[in-house]
Structure formats: structure tokens, C-alpha cells
Amino acid sequence: MIPPRRLSPRRYAAGLAAALAIVAGSSCQRQASPNAENVVLYCSVDDVLARQVLAEFTQRSGIRVQAKYDTEAGKTTTLISTLLAERHRPRADVFWSSELFGTIRLANEGLLEVYDPPAAADIPQRFRDPDRRWTAFGLRARVLAFNPKKLSKQDLPRRWADLPAARWKGQLALANPLFGTTRGHVAAMFATRGPQAATQYLQSLADNEVRIADGNAAAVRMLARGEVLLAATDTDDVWTAKARGESIDLVYPEMADGGTLWIPNSVAVIRGGPNPQAARELVDFLCSAHVERMLAESLSRNVPVRPPLAEQLNLTLPRQCSVGYAAIAEALPQADAAAREILLR
């Protein structure tokens, strides 16, 4: 039996009041300062990289960035879903995405503000929305990563279409095709090859026992651990692994038109965001050549979309896939449905 114990009412009251005060105080803490000093960013770029860029922005402008990052595996798509849910009263000012297709979807849904950043004047038109709702920069290519100790470049498939060969059965790691750049890659296949051929291709990958990883970096990790021989991933994940001392290299397989799929970062101002002026300043900064240089010199080694800068940094591009980003974005729903049905069983 439990003996009753008298506890001081004051202790209960004081404890409860103190805790409630902490809840209220801490939750309102960030909102107390004037909005002009803050900008809210939804960011699907690797947070390790983004934090360096944003710290410099804060240092230069005095504007504090409150960033919401997503988990690496669900990046972009989770933030886009959140932005859609908040559409009637947006909490975010700026969306900085590690890819472009989700941003195009947001633009089509009417969530993005028209803004033509002066800093983006020297960016080629291919990387700018004709209606000026988004700007793209900092390219990464879709590549095949491999372990040079186990394979030589001559052994590797030259085209993505060669991957279903018997030799690579169970030896290819691919990130979840519903998320991030892999999602765009699958959609690009639908845009270049047509739905029927692309669906057959996915089926042949499934038949060839492709290993689905929960992110590009996870696919590279599987390769580094020797679980697979090939990983379909982005250039930045390979450079990061290489810098860590992994035995890893890459090739640029060709899409159906013979080009390489390059996927840029994208940035946009959210329509109706609480801090429009600060948002524009942040977008100006992110589109600037300075940030492109930062991204190129980081571990991620993103290739600048500004040709002179790329040349200056000695970062050359294999020929780009000819299909437009808008066409890839249009193919997304079809590609999602097929990928979910075939690869994620």
C-alpha cells in the first residue's frame, strides 16, 4: 500500500508556472524580434553545406536566416508538401532546393513570387524561368559511381540504358526514385524515351535486382562498403566520399539523346511570405557568382552555370542532355507512379 505524502502546493504551483513560462517564452522567442531582421528559408540542400553559405549571408547583410531543413532522404519533396499545406499563409520566405523540378511544380501551383534577381543577370536563360519565378545555379550531374579497385572505366556501361545487363544483376544501388535528384532522373528518362520505353526500362532494372537506397549518399555508402559495384548518384556525393578517402570514381553515362543530365540548385521567393524584402536580398545573394564559387570550391564541387566562372575554375561539363527542365517536370507524375509501382514493391 502506498503511504500518502503531502507535497507543498506552492511547489506544484511554482513548478507548473515556471514550466509553462518556459514553453511560452521559448516558443515566442524567435518571433519577438522585428521581422525585418529575419528571413525564413526552407532548404533541401545538404545542411552542412548550406549553413556555411547562410552564415556568410548573415555576416554580410545582418539578416538572420531561420532555416528549416529536411531529412536527407526525403529532401525537397517533404518541404514542397509543407509549402503546399501552408499556401494560404506561408511561413517561409525563400525556398532553396537542391533540384529544380519541385520548384517548377511550386511555380505551376502559383506559390512563387515573380522576382528577377539583379545578381542573376549573367545566368544563361536555360537556367531561368521565363516568367522569372525561379532561378537555377550550381549544377550537379547524375553519374555512375564505382570502385576503381574493383572495376576499370572500360568495364563500365556508357549509357544508362546498358544497366539492365546481366553483369550488373544485384550490383546497382539507386536512391529512392520518389525523392530528390533521382526522382528528376527517372522523370528525365520518361521525357527523353517516352512513357512506354521508360516503364520497360524501370521494369528491367527491377528484374535485374536493383538495390534501392534511401538517398544518394546512402547509395554511395553501399558502394564504399562493397555491397554493390555501381551506384547511380550525384557528383557531389562522389566528391564527398573521395575527400573522405574512399576508393571511388565516376563516369557520366549518356541519356537517350547522348547527353548528361545536369541538375541545378534552384531558388525562389515564396509568394506572400512574411519578409519579402529580406527574401529578395537572400535570393540575390544565393544567385550571385560568389555563392556559385563557394559551392564550386566546397566539397560538393557544384559546377557553375555561368560559363566564364566554370572556365575560370577549370570545371568542364560533358554535353548536357537536350531535354528541357520544364518537360522533365511535366513527366514527374507519370514517372512517380511507375517508379512506385515497379521499384518500390
Partner 1 sequence: MPTALAYAVRLANVLLLLLLLAVPAVGLLTSESEQASAPWPAARQWNLFIRTVLLSAGASILAVVWACLVAAGLSLLTRRGGWWLLGPLLVPPYVHAYAWSYVLAPDAVVGRALQACGLAVWTFGQARTLWVWSCWLWPIPALLMLAGWRYGARQNVELAVLDAGPGRAWLRAGMPALLPFAAAGALCCFVLALTNYSVPHLYNVNVFTTDLLAAWQVGDSVPAIAVAGWPVILTALLATAACVLSLGRLGIWSAPPPTPPTRTLLRSWTSAGPVLSALIIVVAVTLIGPLVALVCQLRHLAALWQCFVGFAEPWRTSAVIVVPGVVLAWVIAAASLRRTGRRGQGGVRSAVVLFCWTVLAVVPAVVWGSATIGGYNASAVSQWLYDRAPLVVLVLGLVGRYGWVSAWTGWLTARRLDPALDEQAHLNGATGVQRWARLHVPSAAKPLAVAAILVAALAVTELPISSMLSPPGWQTLSVRTVNLMHYQRDDQVIAIALWMIILAIVAGYFVSRAARRWFE
Show contacts with partner 1 in window 152-211 (CB under 8 A).
Answer: 170, 176, 178-179, 211
- Residue 344 as a binder of partner 1 (CB under 8 A): the answer is yes
- Under 8 Å between Cβ of 100 and 187: no
Contact set for partner 1, span 276-295 (CB under 8 A): none
Q: Which is nearer to partner 1, 12 or 277 (CB)?
A: 12
All cell numbers assigned to 166: 546481366
With beta carbons less than 8 A apart as the criterion, state whether 212 and 344 touch.
Answer: yes
Contact mark string toward partner 1, 105..144, x via CB under 8 A:
----------------------------------------
Q: Which is nearer to partner 1, 92 or 289 (CB)?
A: 92
Of residues 345, 333, 321, 326, the one with CA closest to residue 129: 326
Which long-range contacts link 123-126 to residues 24+ away (Cβ below 8 Å)? 123/287, 123/305, 123/306, 124/305, 124/306, 124/307, 126/324, 126/325
Specify the amino acid at residue 121: A
For partner 1, the closer of residues 27 and 316 by Cβ is: 27
Min CB(273)–partner 1 separation in Å: 11
Shortest distance in whole angstroms from residue 215 CB to partner 1: 5
Name which of residues 222 to 281 contact partner 1 (CB under 8 A): 222, 225-227, 240-241, 244, 274
Cα–Cα distance for residue pair 97/145, rounded to 1 Å: 23
* Of 127-135, 212-220, 265-273, 311-319: span binding partner 1 (CB under 8 A): 212-220
Nearer to partner 1 by Cβ, of 33 and 152: the residue is 33
With CA atoms as reference, report the closest residue to 97 among 78, 113, 110: 78
Among 44, 53, 63, 72, binds partner 1 (CB under 8 A): 72
When computed from its CA atoms, the radius of gyration of the chain, rounded to whole angstroms, is: 23
> Which residue number, 148 or 258, has a Cβ lying nearer to partner 1?
148
Between CA 73 and CA 180 the distance in angstroms is 8
Q: Minimum distance between the CB of residue 159 and partner 1, rounded to whole angstroms?
A: 25
Q: Is 14 in the site for partner 1 (CB under 8 A)?
A: no
Coil, strand or helix at 143: strand
Are the beta carbons of 131 and 112 closer than 8 angstroms? no
